[in-house]
């Protein structure tokens, strides 16, 4: 527990009396972000669990993203997402009611980007993305929510099922299935009027008029009330019709996924463990990554809307944060390739912007190469546990050390050696063996 300014993490490798106590809210600490790096068996997970318990003890709200299902914390709020019959889900259609950062247009861009990145095997072409964006905007319209009228943004938002209903309806319109049904009925009534004997018609006139009324009512209900604000002509354009059919194949499966139809989980103070392991176990890591990024986006945006942490009422003296987002095996969530150094990627934004909103980011991974330059340069505390010999060079480069220093630290003892970097101050330590 906290003792004399922090949680005792390690003791000096050379000077045994030297202590390192983790205190993410101490003087001179410009952010509470933390990185833990270490190969399998180095004690990485054990250390991370102990730090999470400390956050729990300090009454922080922790969001623990668990990709392997092995991060159980006593007293946690356990939330497990599964590919089938998941009790929990997410709703990408949730709106941020903010004139600058929210609204239908921005959210439609976010949804389009996420679906394209994580659920479209080969990615969408430009025309498909444009049509998908239009479909999402129109799905909001079916609920009376319009980009140009901010007063409608607080209405009940659609769910993925509503997108599915709209897509199916448009497909029927394209295939002339919807209007043909009404057309058949209307043509039948017309024939009855034209060819029925006059005396018989007079006797049945009232019934025929009632049938016509029902037909018109059904037509109005289906078209005007639900889809009356939608420009169906856009989807009937020959170039759009061709592309729409290809898009439909993707969307048909996506809208049925249980992660889009489950209940939104309740978040409690303390540790909330979001278990995405069911997706990694069935070889669907992209869906786990989507859920992780979605969680990060929602938490970051919610923290921004709440406002700067230092200006909130009731903030304890000396406190710098009250929320923690934790990723064990963060490689499964972190950006890679060209996206790795994109400053607008959610993880790069978190390390550079979330501090002022009272949100801390804890990341754990087996290799330092998994982190972008943006992450490494903006995280105040880095704990490097034992790594493989072929990783010494990358650790040295990332921390601005000589490779010999790294090699000596990890080869001099069979205990749990570590290099701890606190904003440029780098020392060698032995990690404590936690018993609780």
Rounded CA gap, 39 and 366, in Å? Answer: 5
Place 2 in a pLDDT band, splitting at 50, 70 and 90.
very low
Rounded CA gap, 148 and 391, in Å? Answer: 53
Structure tokens that stand for 239 in this block: 């170039």
SS3 354: helix
HSE value, Cβ hemisphere, 13 Å, CA-based, for 195: 6
Rg of the chain over Cα atoms, rounded to whole angstroms, equals 29
pTM above 0.85, yes or no: no
Placement of tokens 């060698």 in the chain: 428
149 φ, ψ (degrees, to nearest 5): -125, 95
Our measurement of the distance from residue 260's CA atom to the centroid of its chain's CA atoms, rounded to an integer in Å, reads: 12
Nearest to 124 by CA among 107, 340, 138, 135: 135
pLDDT in tens, 75-90: 999 999 998 888 899 9
Q: What is the DSSP letter of 423?
A: T
323 φ, ψ (degrees, to nearest 5): -130, 140
Please say whether the dihedral angle defined by the alpha carbons of residues 398, 297, 85 and 134, taken in this order, is positive or negative.
negative
- Return the pLDDT at 321: 96
Contact 28, 237 (CB under 8 A): no
Rounded percentage of the chain residues whose pLDDT exceeds 70: 87
- Return the pLDDT at 436: 57
- Return the pLDDT at 283: 86
Residues in the chain: 436
pLDDT in tens, 188-247: 666 666 666 676 666 667 776 766 666 555 554 555 567 778 888 899 888 898 899 889
pLDDT in tens, 321-364: 999 999 999 999 988 887 888 888 899 999 999 999 999 999 99
Rounded CA gap, 186 and 34, in Å? Answer: 69
**Which residue did the predictor score with more confidence, 322 or 176?**
322
β-bridge partners, 324: 62, 360
Cβ contacts of 177-186, under 8 Å, gap ≥ 24: 178/222, 182/215, 182/218, 182/219, 185/211, 185/215, 186/212, 186/215
**Which residue did the predictor score with more confidence, 214 or 99?**
99
Q: Which domains does the chain have, with CATH numbers?
A: 7-81+276-431 (3.40.50.300), 104-258 (no CATH)
Residues 327-353, buried b or exposed e (16+ Cβ, 10 A)? bbbbbbbbbeeeebeeeebbbbbbbee
Average of per-residue pLDDT values in the chain: 87
């Amino acid at each position: 527990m906290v003792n004399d300014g922090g949680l005792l993490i390690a003791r000096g490798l050379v000077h045994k009396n030297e202590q390192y106590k983790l205190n993410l809210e101490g003087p001179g600490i410009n952010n509470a972000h933390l990185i833990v790096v270490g190969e399998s068996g180095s004690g990485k997970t054990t250390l991370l669990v102990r730090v999470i318990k400390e956050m729990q003890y300090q009454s922080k709200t922790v969001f623990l993203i668990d990709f392997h299902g092995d991060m159980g914390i006593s007293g946690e709020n356990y939330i497990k997402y599964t590919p089938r019959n998941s009790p929990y889900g997410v709703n990408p259609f949730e709106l941020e009611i903010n004139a600058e950062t929210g609204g239908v247009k921005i959210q439609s861009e976010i949804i389009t980007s996420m679906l394209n990145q994580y659920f479209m095997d080969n990615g969408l072409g430009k025309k498909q993305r444009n049509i998908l964006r239009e479909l999402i905007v129109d799905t909001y319209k079916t609920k009376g929510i319009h980009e140009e009228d901010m007063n409608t943004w607080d209405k009940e938002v659609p769910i993925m099922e509503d997108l599915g209903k709209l897509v199916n309806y448009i497909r029927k319109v394209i295939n002339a299935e919807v209007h043909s049904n009404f057309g058949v009925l209307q043509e039948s009534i017309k024939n009855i009027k034209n060819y029925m004997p006059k005396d018989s018609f007079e006797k049945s006139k009232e019934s025929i008029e009632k049938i016509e009324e029902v037909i018109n009512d059904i037509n109005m209900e289906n078209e005007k009330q639900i889809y009356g604000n939608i420009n169906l002509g856009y989807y009937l354009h020959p170039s759009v019709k061709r592309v729409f059919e290809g898009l439909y194949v993707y969307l048909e499966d996506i809208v049925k996924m249980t992660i889009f139809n489950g209940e939104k989980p309740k978040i409690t103070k303390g540790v909330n463990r979001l278990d995405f392991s069911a997706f990694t176990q069935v070889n669907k890591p992209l869906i786990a990554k989507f859920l992780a990024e979605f969680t990060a986006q929602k938490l970051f945006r919610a923290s921004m809307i709440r406002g700067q942490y230092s200006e909130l009422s009731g903030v304890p003296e000396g406190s710098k944060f009250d929320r923690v987002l934790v990723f064990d095996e963060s490689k499964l969530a972190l950006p890679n390739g060209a996206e790795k150094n994109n400053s607008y990627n959610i993880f790069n934004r978190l390390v550079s912007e979330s501090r002022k909103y009272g949100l801390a980011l804890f990341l754990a991974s087996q290799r330092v190469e998994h982190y972008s330059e943006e992450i490494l340069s903006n995280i105040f505390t880095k704990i490097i546990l034992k790594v493989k010999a072929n990783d010494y060079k990358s650790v040295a480069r990332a921390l601005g050390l000589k490779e010999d220093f790294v090699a000596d630290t990890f080869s001099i003892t069979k205990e749990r050696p570590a290099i701890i970097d606190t904003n440029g101050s780098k020392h060698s330590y032995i990690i404590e063996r936690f018993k609780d």
